[in-house]
Amino acid sequence: MDAAAERITTAPRRPVRRGVLSLSVIAAIVVIWEGAKAIFSIPTFMLPHVHEIFGEFVRRGGRGELYAGIMAHNAAYTAWEAIIGFVLGGVAGLVLAVSFAYSRLLERGLLPYVIASQTVPILAIAPMIVIWLGTSWVSKAVIAAYLTFFPVTINMLRGFKSVDHDALALMRSLAATARQAFFKLQFPAALPYLFTALRISATASVIGAIIGELPVGSRYGMGVVIINAAQYYNWRPANLWAAILVSASIGIGFYHAVAAVERRVVRWRPVGTEDRWPG
């Protein structure tokens, strides 16, 4: 077996090393956090103690329920909206990318508006979508999809266009149908681009869902938790920090879920070799 093949067999040891690394980074952040707070005597309303933030989870709410439970319930609600939005946006983004790849007319006509859609502040659009679609999870999922589709469209379009000229010529010489060329060449060739987009979209979909929960009328979700925590910030600052921590965790979880699927699907090259890909 050659040296290159051996590199694959060593891959399973990586997760352990990565685990140690991320634990070290977390420990370093805690040290810097608490160190800065002590050295510069930063007051708690600006920067609470780390243990105060985690203490929020074991605190009991007004009706005696554990705050961790309340957070988990709202986090699950937001995650659900984000997943639906992620799927909707992913499919919409793919459909747009495919139609742009096949029709220069559509690309020229619509791509400027696709780009414009992302320059409009989502905070301004979110209340309108909530008014149109109601305060249920549907409007939040649509807002999440609004942020999700764009990276997918742009990256997949680039992926389709990056397909090697001679690889297409090969399909042509074999008298392949357009459908065969798409499924046997263009789509698999663009898959790495799709996953790059999905990793961005995974975090964006959570942001979208949370923004969708901010307008008045929403009852559940991390957006609601954040609004409430912000209102009581002076009284209990650690509460907002805990909400931020949970929101970020959802996004990080999504990101890693996508990366895990990517590792299973894009198996033909070892992860992390994109830069030294032999021509």
Partner 1 sequence: MAGLNGPIIDVQGVGKVFGRGAGVTHALEGVSLAIQPREFVAIIGPSGCGKSTLLRIVGDLVEPSGGAVRVKGKTPHQARLDRDYGIVFQTPVLYEWRTVLRNVELPLEVMGRPRSEWQGRAQGMLQLVGLGAFQHHYPWQLSGGMQQRVAIARALVFNPSILLMDEPFGALDELTRERLNLELLTIWSQTSATVLFITHSISEAVFLSSRVMVMSPRPGRIERTVTIDLPRPRTAQTRATARFFELVTLVREGLREDPAVAAGRDAVAEDA
Residues that bind partner 1 (CB under 8 A): 2, 4-5, 164, 166-167, 169-176, 180, 184-185, 188-189, 191, 266, 268-269, 273, 277-278
In angstroms, what CA-CA distances link 248 with 18, 194, 252, 272? 19, 23, 6, 25
The distance of closest approach from Cβ of residue 99 to partner 1 in the complex, given in angstroms and rounded to an integer, is 24
State which residue, 121 or 278, has the beta carbon closest to partner 1. 278
**CA–CA gap between residue 100 and residue 106 (Å, rounded):** 6
State which residue, 17 or 276, has the beta carbon closest to partner 1. 276
60 bridge partner residues:
66
Please name the helix (run of DSSP H) or strand (run of DSSP E) that holds residue 30, with its range, or none.
helix 14-39
State which residue, 124 or 175, has the beta carbon closest to partner 1. 175
The distance of closest approach from Cβ of residue 87 to partner 1 in the complex, given in angstroms and rounded to an integer, is 24
Residue 207: which of 248, 240, 151, 245 has the closest Cα?
A: 248
Dihedral class, residue 86 (left if φ above 0, else alpha if ψ from -120 to 50, else beta)? alpha
State which residue, 156 or 211, has the beta carbon closest to partner 1. 156
The distance of closest approach from Cβ of residue 271 to partner 1 in the complex, given in angstroms and rounded to an integer, is 13
Q: Is 61 helix (H, G, I), strand (E, B) or coil?
A: coil
**CA–CA gap between residue 22 and residue 53 (Å, rounded):** 20
The distance of closest approach from Cβ of residue 177 to partner 1 in the complex, given in angstroms and rounded to an integer, is 8
State which residue, 2 or 275, has the beta carbon closest to partner 1. 2
The distance of closest approach from Cβ of residue 46 to partner 1 in the complex, given in angstroms and rounded to an integer, is 51
